[in-house]
Amino acid sequence: MLSGLLIILAPLIVGYLIPLQYAPALRLINRLLSWIVYVILFFMGISLAFLDNLASNLLAIFHYAAVTIVVILLCNIVALLWLERSLPWKNQHRQEKLPSRVAMALESLKLCGVVVLGFLLGLSGLEFLQHATEASEYTLIFLLFLIGIQLRNNGMTLKQIVLNRRGMIVAVTVLASSLLGGVINAFILDLPLKTALAMASGFGWYSLSGILLTESFGPVIGSAAFFNDLARELIAIMLIPGMVRQSRSTALGLCGATSMDFTLPVLQRSGGLEMVPAAIVHGFILSLLVPILMAFFSA
C-alpha cells in the first residue's frame, strides 16, 4: 500500500521542490507534457486490447463512465446552484463572441483517437506489446515529475490562492459534491468505496486520472475514469456560455481542474476578465488535489 502511494507522490514532490525560472525550459516542459500524455494513452489502448473477455469489459467501461459522469455532474450542479443562491456572484460583463466550441471539442476528442489507435495495434497480438503496462509505469513517473515542476512554477503564490475567496469556495464545493457523487456511484455500480472515490477525484483531468487509475485498478477502471473526465470537459465547453448568465459559480465549477488551462478562454469570454483569477485558483487547487486524492484512495 505504502509503495503504491510513494510511486505516485514521490516524483510529484521531487518535481515541486525544483524552482525553475528559465522560460524556455518551462515551455519545453509544457510541450513534453503534451506529448507524454499521448504516449501513455497510447499504451493504455494497447493494454485494453490484452484484456480477457474483451467485449464484456468494453461494455463495463462505458457503463461505469456513463453512470459516473451523470451522478457526479448532478451532484456538482445542485451544490453549485445552492452556492450561487447563498452567495451570489454579481457582475456587469457583456458576453464576448466565443471561439468555435465544436473545434475545441474536437481537440479533446483527439485523445480518444490515440487510445483507439493503441487498442487497434494491441489487437494484433504482437508479443512485445505485452510490455506496454511496464512502459507506461516508467513514463507515468516521468510525467508526474514534470507536473510537479509545472505546479511549482506556474506563477501562483500562496498569497494569491488564499486571497481569492470565490475560487477557493467553488473548488471546495466541487470537491465535496464530487466525493458525495463517488459514494453514490459505489452503491449504484457495486464498486468498492475507495475505487468509486478515486474515480470521482479526477475533476476533469482526464489525461492524468485515466493513467493513474489504470496503474492502480487496471485498464477497465482507468479507461472509465478517462472517458468520465473527458466527458466533463466536453460538457463544460458546451454549457459554459449559457450557464454563466444564470450561475457563474456553476459555470466555473463544471470546468473542474481544466478551469486554469483548456476551458479558461471560454470562461473569460463568457464571464469577463474578473472570472480569470477565480478560475486559475479553482483549477490550481483541484489540479493539486487530483494526484493526492487518487494516491490516497488507491493505496
Furthest-apart CA atoms within the chain: distance in Å: 61
Q: What is the mean pLDDT of residues 166-180?
A: 94
- As a whole number of angstroms, the distance between CA 236 and CA 110 comes to 17
The 3-state DSSP class for residue 184 equals helix
pLDDT at 24 over 90: no
Helices 275-298 + 165-189 axis angle, to 10? 40
- As a whole number of angstroms, the distance between CA 139 and CA 161 comes to 31
pLDDT at 180 over 80: yes
Using alpha carbons only, give the angle 9, 10, 12 rounded to the nearest 5 degrees: 65
Please name which of 228, 276, 231 lies closest in space to residue 252, comparing C-alpha atoms.
276
Determine which of 26-30, 110-114, 216-220 has the lowest per-residue pLDDT on average. 110-114
Q: What is the mean pLDDT of residues 34-47?
A: 78
Q: How would you classify residue 256: left for phi > 0, otherwise alpha for psi between -120 and 50, otherwise beta? A: left
Q: Give the chain's mean pLDDT.
A: 81
Using alpha carbons only, give the angle 207, 251, 84 rounded to the nearest 5 degrees: 135
Residue ranges per domain, the chain? 2-89+97-298
Q: What is the mean pLDDT of residues 48-76?
A: 85
pLDDT at 287 over 60: yes
250-282 pLDDT, tens per residue? 999 999 988 877 777 778 777 776 787 888 889
pLDDT at 54 over 70: no
Q: What is the mean pLDDT of residues 138-147?
A: 79
pLDDT value of residue 177: 96
Q: Assign 198 a pLDDT band (cuts: 50, 70, 90).
A: very high
Q: What is the mean pLDDT of residues 47-53?
A: 71
With the CA atoms of 95, 96, 100 and 101 taken in that order, what torsion angle do they form, in degrees rounded to the nearest 10? -20
pLDDT at 186 over 80: yes
Residue pointed to by grid coordinates 453512470:
67
pLDDT at 97 over 70: no
pLDDT value of residue 280: 80
Q: How would you classify residue 203: left for phi > 0, otherwise alpha for psi between -120 and 50, otherwise beta? A: left
Q: Which grid coordinates are listed for 284?
A: 490550481
pLDDT at 49 over 60: yes
pLDDT value of residue 1: 40
Please name which of 260, 261, 251, 195 lies closest in space to residue 228, comparing C-alpha atoms.
195
